Amino acid sequence: MCTMNSSIGNHKVLIGIIILWFFLSLGSLLFGVFDGDGVKPALLLILYVLLPIGIFVVSYLNSVPLREVILSLNLRVVILAQTVRMIGGVFLILYGLGLLPALFALPAGLGDLAIGMTAPIVALVLLTKHPFPARVLILWNVLGILDLVNAVSLGILTSSSPLGIFAGEISIKPVISFPLGLIPTFGVPLTVILHVIALIKLKENRMP
């Protein structure tokens, strides 16, 4: 009973951290942390993406309670959560309206749609009695991570900053403003972490 209560408590703590993280990103956008041109918004965006991932990795390696929570998660649910990536289709809509550059919007939007639309299929296949090829699942997660890395990189390279070597007349400003700014500041690092969790469970042979 004590172990069960401890596990429930650890899950609640993790959920609380995620909620706090969400409101931190939300507050940053509402208070205009990413407003303006120059290198500062681009560097802040990189920080908002990389810092949560780094904290997760360090915490997982050093915290037994966190490892127990992560390894107890249902792999199908972790994969199914990637369905939220379909929201990336909004990049394609904004491109069609002339509000986002093609170099960013097309790869980011199509990549997110591909991962988001296949997530339910992968989760459904895991429900079958036949063993799912681990290599396929690993490849799917790696492609999901690469898509996110590519989207963030292209976002930086098309931004109106010294790092924006491919910047044009159309700005990526909508992507770092409320409400879309929640995608790179919260959604991207969270979905990367979910991919990492899936890979961890595969490595530990914790299939559902």
Q: At what angle do helices 39-62 and 134-157 cross, to 10 degrees?
A: 150
Mean pLDDT across the chain, nearest whole number?
A: 90
For the cut 50, the answer to whether the pLDDT of residue 48 exceeds it is yes
For the cut 90, the answer to whether the pLDDT of residue 143 exceeds it is yes
Nearest to 200 by CA among 54, 48, 13, 73: 73
For the cut 50, the answer to whether the pLDDT of residue 163 exceeds it is yes
127 or 30, higher pLDDT: 30
What confidence tier does 189 reach under pLDDT thresholds 50, 70, 90?
very high
For the cut 60, the answer to whether the pLDDT of residue 206 exceeds it is no
Q: Are 198 and 78 in contact (CB under 8 A)?
A: yes
pLDDT of residue 125: 85
Q: Are 197 and 78 in contact (CB under 8 A)?
A: yes
**Measured at the alpha carbon of residue 201, what is the angle toward residues 199 and 203, in degrees to the nearest 5?**
70
Question: Looking at residues 22-34, what average pLDDT do you find?
Answer: 95
Nearest to 155 by CA among 84, 198, 94, 196: 94
pLDDT of residue 2: 47
pLDDT of residue 130: 65
pLDDT of residue 202: 86
Question: Looking at residues 142-157, what average pLDDT do you find?
Answer: 96
**Cα–Cα dist 38/102, whole Å:** 21
pLDDT of residue 188: 97
Question: Per mean pLDDT, which of 31-45, 46-60, 128-142 is the most reliable?
Answer: 46-60
Spans of all domains in the chain: 2-203
Least confident of 89-93, 99-103, 128-132, 189-193: 128-132
User: By percentage, how much of the chain surpasses pLDDT 90?
Assistant: 73
